[in-house]
Amino acid sequence: MILISLCLTVLSVGRASAQNPPEWTAPFPPFKIAGNLYYVGGKDLASYLVTTPQGNILINSNLEETVPQIRASVEKLGFKFSDIKILLISHAHRDHDAGSNRIKTLTGAKYEVMDEDVSVVESGGKTDFAYGNDPTTPKYAPTHVDRVLHDGDVVKLGGTELVAHLTPGHTKGCTTWTMKVTEGGKTYNVVIVGSTGINPGYNLVDSKVYPQMAADYEKTFRVLKSLPTDIFLGAHGGYFDLEAKYPRYQKVGFTAFVDPVGYQQFVKERELGFREELAKQRAGR
- The CATH T-level fold of domain 2-12+24-283 is Metallo-beta-lactamase; Chain A (3.60.15)
pLDDT exceeds 50 at position 282: yes
pLDDT, tens digit, 9 for 90 and up, residues 22-74:
999 999 999 999 999 999 999 999 999 999 999 999 999 999 999 999 999 99
8-22, 62-76, 94-108: the lowest-pLDDT one? 8-22
Task: Give the 3-state DSSP-derived string for 96-137, with helices as H, strands as E and coil as C.
Answer: HHCCHHHHHHHHCCEEEEEHHHHHHHHCCCCCCCCCCCCCCC
**CA separation for the pair 205, 192 (Å, rounded):** 28
**CA separation for the pair 205, 221 (Å, rounded):** 17
The pTM is what? 0.94
Per-residue burial over 102-118, b if 16 or more Cβ lie within 10 Å, else e, is bbbeebebbbbbbbbbb
Helix axes 100-107, 67-76, angle to 10 degrees: 50
pLDDT, tens digit, 9 for 90 and up, residues 176-220:
999 999 999 999 999 999 999 999 999 999 999 999 999 999 999
Instruction: Name which residue leads in pLDDT, 261 or 11.
Output: 261
pLDDT exceeds 80 at position 285: no
pLDDT-derived band of residue 233, with 50, 70 and 90 as boundaries? very high
pLDDT exceeds 50 at position 1: no
25 CB contacts (<8 Å, ≥6 apart)? Answer: 42, 63, 65, 66, 69
